[in-house]
Amino acid sequence: MTQHPEKKLALITGASRGLGAALAETLAGAGWHIVAVGRTLGALEDLDDRIQALGGSATLATLDITNDDAMRHLCRDIHDRWGALDLWAHMAIYAPPMTPADHIPLKDWDKCVAVNMRATGFLIPMVAPLLAASADRGTALFVDDPAASGRFMGAYGASKAAQMALARAWQAESTKTGPRVLIDAAPPMPTATRARFFPGEDRAALTPCATQAARLAALL
């Protein structure tokens, strides 16, 4: 990892595409150093190319957030090299195909629990001390999905609701002590996740990820 002590530091989990990638580009363009976590090396390298074109900098971490040891080592590396973290934006999510509740394959349910619920619960205690060491007490950002409910969305909706319940509990608990926990309701965006649920939708009518990223960056 390259040290950039003069820059604010953002850890973005789920940075390879969609809103996570757009937020990484937006913050990098504003002078942040980005630690971009994703499972797909090619997508992260494309992100890095775009960030460099903006004059920004990033550290790429091709990791699966459900790998406890890998994420533990990443957080330790952040501590050893930078000593603190200014922002954790948790954008990683798993959305299985739409399925009736009585037909959800166990593998899809298990992956929803692992990515959307368990990984979030594992990462909060790992990241919280890094945010606490920030001069600004640090910020954790979660994005709710108002569309994560209804027919054929049982696994995604249930696991996303659990993730948000955990984030809201942390938000209430840290009001006085920090970090600042922001929870934002995302508008419909033309992401791969949404395309799995609404394949025939007019994507031109949706909010571009870059527009939403700019709004989130303003909150930060």
User: What residues does each domain of the chain span?
Assistant: 9-211
Residue 5 pLDDT exceeds 60: no
Query: Can you give the pLDDT at residue 64?
Result: 97
**Residue 11 is inside which H or E element, if any?**
strand 9-13
What is the largest distance, in Å, between two alpha-carbon atoms of the chain?
53
Lookup: tokens for 184: 């934002």
Lookup: tokens for 16: 């390879």
Give the mean pLDDT of 18-24: 97
Give the mean pLDDT of 191-208: 86
Query: Can you give the pLDDT at residue 212?
Result: 95
Strand order across the beta sheet in which 9-13 lies: 57-62, 33-38, 9-13, 87-90, 139-144, 180-185
Is 138 buried (19+), middle (13-18) or exposed (0-12) by CB count in 10 A? buried
Q: 3.40.50.720, 3.30.390.10, 3.30.930.10, 2.40.30.10: which CATH number matches 9-211?
A: 3.40.50.720
Give the mean pLDDT of 28-45: 97
Query: Can you give the pLDDT at residue 1?
Result: 39
Predicted model pTM: 0.93
